[in-house]
Amino acid sequence: MAVVTPTKIVCVGRNYAKHAAELGNDVPAEPLIFLKPPSAVLAPGAPIVLPRGVGRVDFEGEIGLVIGRRARHVSVDDAWDHVAALAPVNDVTARDLQRADGQWTRAKGFDTFCPVGVPAPVSAVDLGALAVSTRVNGELRQHGSIDEMAFSIPVVIAHISRIMTLEPGDLIATGTPEGIGPLEAGDEVSVEVAGVGTVTNPVVEEVM
């Protein structure tokens, strides 16, 4: 069973300069957003399924925000007031499809491609110390703090709310730091957000 049930999942691309650079991209002039379907949400411990024939599939550890109050045209100063909780998120990505398609819906949208940890109430989190780390089979692969974000969390929330209404329960994934890499069947991947929690999932091949 999923730990969150969003009406939509809004993700931010290229929000860490070093991650943008490792894929040969520049940081955009404003937050670059895309959607993952709610059907991609995966609970802790459930397996990430590698679809057959899609090529490389990568992990992307991120800080997730669970919206608590309806948000439309929210100001930067008021943005945190609309967040109920935070959670670790893994924005699993079929990298070869992302490059081939030019837009990211297929690459980001497979079932099981959005593991989400148990949300922690925003009131219980030290927001100034937020950082995300990803480990594969216990080996640290990613680490990034909010100080490294090109666009801060309040800026991201305000930007999204000018485009679409955020409903309670909606999930925002705020971008991944450098160090992304491929997953293989038999791996175990963990995304930890400091002071929030960890989501850990095994990786399996698709069985037809």
pLDDT digits (tens, 9 = 90+) for 72-111: 999 999 999 999 999 999 999 999 999 999 899 999 999 9
Q: Which residues of 71-87 are buried (b: 16+ CB within 10 A; e: fewer)?
A: beebeeeebeebbebbb
Predicted confidence band at 26 (pLDDT cuts at 50, 70, 90)? confident
Torsion sign over Cα 83, 84, 88, 91: negative
pTM to 2 decimal places = 0.96
What is the domain partition of the chain in residue ranges? Answer: 9-205
Torsion sign over Cα 132, 17, 189, 199: positive
- 3-state SS, residue 189: strand
Domain with residues 9-205, CATH architecture: Alpha-Beta Complex (3.90)
Q: What is the DSSP string of 46-112?
A: SPEEE-TT---EEE-EEEEEEE-S-BSS--TTTGGGGEEEEEEEE--EEHHHHHHHSS-HHHH-STT
114-115 and 139-145 beta bridge pairing: unpaired
DSSP H or E stretch at residue 9: strand 9-13
* Residues ≥6 apart with Cβ < 8 Å to 99: none
pLDDT digits (tens, 9 = 90+) for 154-184: 999 999 999 999 999 999 999 999 999 999 9
| β-bridge mates for residue 80, sequence order | none
Predicted confidence band at 2 (pLDDT cuts at 50, 70, 90)? low
Q: Which residue type, as a one-letter code, is found at position 137?
A: N
Average pLDDT (53-78) is: 98
